[in-house]
Amino acid sequence: MSRAQYHTHLVRIAVLAVLSASILTVLPVQASTISNLAGRWTGWGAVTLASGATERVKCVATYFIKDKETKVRQNLRCASPNYKIDSVADYVIKNGKVTGSWEERSRSNTGEVLGKSTAKGFKLAITGETWSADISVTTGKCKQSISFVPTNLDVTRISIGLRKC
């Protein structure tokens, strides 16, 4: 794998992790709010590389709620001039705790998600085979704001906003 392909691969993983986290933004509120996630969300984000360069990404996320709002599936596609992501994530929400997994299908990357709800969203730890990240999410009824700070990637921060209303 060339250095450019490796860099692209790492950024794809980082963007996927952040956007996968967007599914969990309503955990601290009533279960009925989880059903508000169902449907199609769109948004833009900024990926900041270690070099200081920034790449803008456009994303579409589709959410499916199951089993009395305790299970959520997210299908996610993101694209920019240099990156493409095609992912699926599954989460289980129980007693304010979140567990789950994600897969980036075009590269067969997988990882684990563990987290908890907060008063304004959630705090999440996500891990992959060679990296990890801390994620902070705040939410409202129609929009989500996500901040992702990874370690062991050529990305220093990803900030994303998604809207549904």
Q: For 49-84, how does the pLDDT look when each residue is reduced to its tens digit (9 = 90+)?
A: 899 999 999 988 888 988 887 888 888 887 788 877
Q: What is the pLDDT of residues 85-135, one digit of tens each?
A: 788 888 888 888 989 998 878 767 788 999 987 766 678 888 888 778 888
Per-residue pLDDT averaged across 27-55, rounded? Answer: 75
Q: What is the pLDDT of residues 146-162, one digit of tens each?
A: 788 888 878 898 888 99
For residue 144, pLDDT beyond 90? no
Q: Higher confidence at residue 5 or residue 18? A: 5
Whether this prediction's pTM lies above 0.85 is answered by no
Q: Quick one: tokens of 71?
A: 């299970």
**Alpha-carbon dihedral sign for residues 119, 24, 38, 32:** negative
Architecture of the CATH domain 3-163 = Beta Barrel (2.40)
- Whole-number pLDDT of residue 61: 83
Answer for the pair 118, 126: CB distance below 8 angstroms, yes or no.
no
Q: How many other C-beta atoms are found inside a 10 Å radius of the C-beta of residue 157?
A: 15
Percent helix, percent strand, percent coil in the chain, to nearest 5: 15, 55, 25
Q: What does the DSSP 8-state code read for residue 14? A: H
- Whole-number pLDDT of residue 151: 87
- Whole-number pLDDT of residue 24: 44
Per-residue pLDDT averaged across 26-47, rounded? Answer: 68
- Whole-number pLDDT of residue 19: 44
Helix (H) / strand (E) containing 20: helix 3-21
What b-and-e string marks burial along 54-78, b requiring 16 or more CB atoms within 10 Å of the CB? ebebebebebebeeebebbebebeb
Residue 8 pLDDT level (bands cut at 50, 70, 90): low
Residue 5 pLDDT level (bands cut at 50, 70, 90): low
Instruction: Give the integer Cα–Cα distance in Å for 63 and 69.
Output: 12
